Amino acid sequence: MQLLAANWKMFKGPREAREFCAAFVPPEGVEAVLCPAFAALQAAVESGHTVFAQNVHWADEGAYTGEVSAPMLLELGVAGAIVGHSERRQYFGETDETVARRTRAALEHGLRVIGCVGESAEERHTGQTELVLKVMVEAIADAAGGRDGLVIAYEPVWAIGTGEMATPEMAREAHALIKGLLDVPVLYGGSVKPDTAPVMLAEEGIDGALVGGASLDVESFTAICQAAAEISSSS
Ligand code: PGA
């Protein structure tokens, strides 16, 4: 079943999250997951939709100002977390090591994890894509240690929020590389829109999408989920 995850980033407080959730009806045949900011998690959970956080700390509790732990998320009814998003890596100093620690702790607690990997434009242009993906995926794979609940999201950094989606061929290659390292579902992320989703989601080895900008609007996220549902029902 294709997995469609809505990464709302730092958009939507509880009121807007509630409005979205009330209007959102995921189509049959796909799994839709909403990933609100911490402040809107409870509102989204109360709606009955499946909810993931956008990050999770490795310790159960402690002096870690600004962080949220896996037991706290579980107490709220949250089912999983995104880990290692490129915005975390770029702006908040997240490294393969911290991503690995977060992944391990979340999976140990029974949270599902969407672990994000992806090359920058410079890395792609200098021929380092394979190496970069390998290092990132292996860090997550080692941390997961074969535990259930892990999904990888391939998100080329240059495609995030730019309107410039990777070509299906680029995604197919990257997904094949990732799947050669780790046998888990792999989502594509980076400028997925309702008009581009059908082509991308039909590509071999693409098990769903992590959607940022286009997930903020209930109609456009629903359209992306519908595209996935149609592909699943015709295959
Ligand atoms: P985008 O974001 O769809 O706005 O490019 C994707 C993401 O950051 O997960």
What are the Cα distances from residue 23, in Å, to 7, 20, 44, 47, 49? 17, 5, 12, 10, 11
Choose, from 85, 87, 123, 175, the residue flagged as catalytic.
85
CA distance 114 to 150: 6
Ligand 1 neighbours (beta carbon < 6 A): 7, 155, 160-161, 189-192, 210-214
Banded model confidence at residue 233, pLDDT cuts 50, 70, 90: confident
Which pLDDT score, from 0 to 100, does residue 123 have? 97
Catalytic status, residue 155: yes
Q: What is the pLDDT of residues 117-170, one digit of tens each?
A: 999 999 999 999 999 999 999 999 999 999 999 999 999 999 999 999 999 999
Say how many Å lie between the CA of residue 210 and the centre of ligand 1: 7
pLDDT of residue 234: 84
186-196 pLDDT per residue, tens: 999 999 999 99
Residue 50 — very low, low, confident or very high, per pLDDT cuts 50/70/90?
A: very high
Any alpha helices (H) in 80-217, and if so which ranges?
A: 86-91, 96-108, 121-125, 129-144, 168-181, 197-202
- At residue 19, the pLDDT reads 98
Residue 115 Cα to ligand 1 midpoint, Å, equals 14
SS3 state at 86: helix
Q: Write down the pLDDT at residue 232.
A: 87
Closest residue by CA, ligand 1 atom 3: 212
Question: Is a pLDDT exceeding 90 seen at residue 235?
Answer: no
Ligand 1 mutation target, pool 192, 193, 216, most atoms within 8 A of CB: 192
Q: Say if residue 108's pLDDT is above 90.
A: yes
Q: Which of 87, 94, 119, 155 is catalytic?
A: 155
pTM comes to 0.98
Active-site residue, 16 included? no
* Torsion sign over Cα 235, 200, 186, 149: negative
How many angstroms is it from 63 CA to the middle of ligand 1? 31
